[in-house]
């Protein structure tokens, strides 16, 4: 390649052949998930009632590398992977910064985000184990659409519980799911006991990710040959996403760069985990000296204001307890436009890394976020997902700091998806009608050893 190439491509043969498991390299084992009844470490056997067996094994594995099955590699080629790494020449020029900025572009596949990297793997293991239907939840619809596409690819049915507010506001994602052959319900729905109970109390319940998770789990345990699938938070989800970071390592080798700052957004932690954990493994071994920066919404400040404690993953309290940074499982997420960042908790892996000072985190209000997204669109062409615009806010501020201090830092970030189904939010921003939301009141569950 020449020094001015904008995009750095890899061959399809360069798709990583193994997923990287950070659990092998953490200074200590992660606190285990607890059984909500006994408060003892949950028996993995019990988890196989809702998840495919192989995924449960991956969840608790401490093997450093896990081979990617040939059928999943083929699905990654189909997607297609590898995705390009871009040098942000346009943004650098606009900011007049000496920093060199690179971003991984995960919006190029048909679902438009990083989520198919785990959706395809999860659909594969379920199909292999004889499962016929996958149930899941979705907020703004990115996960539901990725899983619907993956289910179609592996010949499975999918039932998706979509947060009611988004179901009404974002019909585009629902249409995508149905076109890929999935069934999409507005959540809370009439199709589960939990949903019926909530609708009876309030027929206009706007729903939440926590409620939709409870409905999808109930669906899995009450239907034959149905398993549940989660799009973020859990260790096996972050594991599958490490194809992103491993590709970036190869792409940076081609341009002979070493990152100083590694940035991403965090909803449940999967895209930033997948992007950054291969680098984090090197940092933990003393082989890389870089800052790791996670960006979240000021309206859902789970890692900047949350507490590190055991909490439920869902509102109906069906999941095991996870030790994580959380705002409490009944946190009322304000209706910010970055739907993927509206979740009360955070991946136990990312929570651990932030809590122990290996990663920093920052929270931004959405007006500042959309300003960054708009600058990016005008300089790089890509209209980023509102989630991705969170880290772009940090990157812009950091690049300006480099200018002030005359520093040539290498900043890399994960551009997790496109914003082409979030245009109504850009419309509000463009016409000065976008509002900011304060974080809501929150209280912590009084569960296990705080």
Ligand X SMILES: *Cc1c(COP(=O)(O)O)cnc(C)c1O
Q: Given the rule CB under 6 A, which residues bind ligand X?
A: 113, 115, 142-143, 232, 265-271, 340, 385, 387-388, 416-417
373 in Cβ contact with 381 (< 8 Å): no
By beta-carbon proximity to ligand X, the closer residue of 188 and 340 is 340
Least distance (Å) between residue 249 CB and ligand X: 19
* Of residues 135 and 303, the one with the C-beta less far from ligand X: 303
Least Å distance, CB 268 to ligand X, is: 4
Residue nearest ligand X by beta-carbon distance:
417
CB of 216 to ligand X, least distance (A): 16
Residue from 112, 96, 185 nearest 145 by CA: 112
Nearer to ligand X, 58 or 142 (CB): 142
- Given the complex with ligand X, which of 33 and 198 has the nearer CB atom? 33
User: Least Å distance between CB 303 and ligand X?
Assistant: 11
Q: Are 119 and 154 in contact (CB under 8 A)?
A: no
As measured in angstroms, the least distance from the Cβ of 340 to ligand X is 3
**Mind giving me the DSSP string for 117-158?**
HHHHHHHHHHHHTT--EEEEEESSSHHHHHHHHHHHHTT-EE
Q: Pairing mode, if any, of strands 183-187 and 410-415? A: unpaired
Which residue lies nearer to ligand X by CB, 105 or 429?
A: 105
Please tell me what DSSP assigns to residue 113: B
Nearer to ligand X, 33 or 139 (CB): 139
Cis (ω within 30 of 0) for the bond into 80? yes
Give the nearest distance from C-beta 151 to ligand X in angstroms.
Answer: 17
Residue 113 or residue 229: which is nearer to ligand X going by CB?
A: 113
**What DSSP string describes 79-112?**
TT-SPPEEE-HHHHHHHT-SSEEEEEEGGGSTT-
The per-residue b/e assignment along 32-46, b for 16 or more CB within 10 angstroms, e otherwise, is: bbbebeeeeebeeee
DSSP state of 183: E
Least separation in angstroms between residue 21's CB and ligand X is 17
Q: Is 285 exposed, middle or buried (0-12, 13-18, 19+ CB in 10 A)?
A: exposed
Give the separation between CA 217 and CA 137, rounded to whole angstroms.
Answer: 9
Question: Between residues 97 and 232, which has the closer beta carbon with respect to ligand X?
Answer: 232
Shortest distance in whole angstroms from residue 387 CB to ligand X: 3
Q: Are 368 and 301 in contact (CB under 8 A)?
A: no
């Amino acid at each position: 390649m020449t020094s001015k190439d904008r995009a750095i491509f890899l061959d399809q043969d360069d798709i990583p052949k193994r997923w990287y498991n950070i659990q092998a390299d953490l200074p200590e084992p992660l606190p285990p998930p607890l059984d909500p009844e006994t408060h003892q470490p949950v028996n993995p056997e019990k988890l196989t009632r809702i998840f495919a067996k192989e995924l449960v094994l991956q969840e608790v594995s401490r093997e450093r590398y896990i081979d990617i099955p040939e059928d999943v590699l083929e699905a990654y080629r189909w997607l297609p992977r590898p995705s390009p790494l871009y040098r942000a020449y346009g943004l650098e020029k606009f900011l007049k910064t000496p920093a060199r900025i690179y971003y991984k572009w995960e919006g190029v596949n048909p679902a438009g985000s990083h989520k198919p990297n785990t959706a395809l793997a999860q659909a594969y293991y379920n199909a292999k184990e004889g499962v016929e239907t996958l149930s899941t939840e979705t907020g703004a619809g990115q996960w539901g659409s990725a899983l619907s596409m993956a289910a179609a690819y592996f010949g499975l049915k999918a039932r998706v519980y979509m947060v009611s507010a988004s179901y009404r506001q974002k019909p585009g994602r629902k249409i995508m799911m149905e076109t890929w052959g999935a069934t999409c319900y507005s959540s809370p729905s009439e199709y589960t006991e939990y949903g019926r109970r909530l609708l009876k109390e309030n027929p206009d319940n706007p729903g939440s990710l926590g409620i939709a998770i409870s409905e999808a789990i109930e669906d899995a345990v009450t239907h034959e040959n149905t398993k549940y699938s989660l799009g973020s938070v859990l260790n096996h989800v972050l594991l599958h996403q490490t194809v992103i970071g491993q590709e970036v390592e190869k792409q940076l080798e081609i341009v002979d760069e070493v990152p100083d700052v590694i940035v991403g957004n965090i909803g449940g932690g999967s895209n930033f985990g997948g992007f950054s954990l291969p680098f984090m493994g090197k940092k933990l071994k003393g082989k890389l000296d870089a800052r790791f920066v996670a960006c979240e919404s000021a309206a859902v400040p789970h890692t900047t204001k949350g507490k590190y404690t055991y909490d439920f993953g869902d509102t109906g309290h069906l999941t095991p307890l996870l030790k994580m940074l959380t705002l409490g499982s009944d946190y009322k997420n304000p209706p910010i436009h970055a739907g993927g960042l509206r979740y009360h908790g955070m991946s136990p892996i990312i929570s651990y890394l932030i809590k122990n000072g290996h990663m920093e985190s920052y929270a931004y209000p959405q007006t500042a976020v959309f300003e960054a997204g708009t600058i990016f669109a005008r300089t790089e062409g890509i209209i980023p997902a509102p989630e991705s615009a969170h880290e772009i806010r940090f990157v812009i501020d950091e690049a300006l700091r480099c200018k002030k201090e005359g520093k040539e830092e290498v900043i890399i970030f994960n551009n997790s998806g496109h914003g082409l189904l979030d245009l109504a939010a850009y419309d509000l921003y463009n016409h000065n009608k976008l509002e900011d939301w304060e974080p809501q009141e929150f209280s912590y569950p009084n569960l296990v050893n705080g």
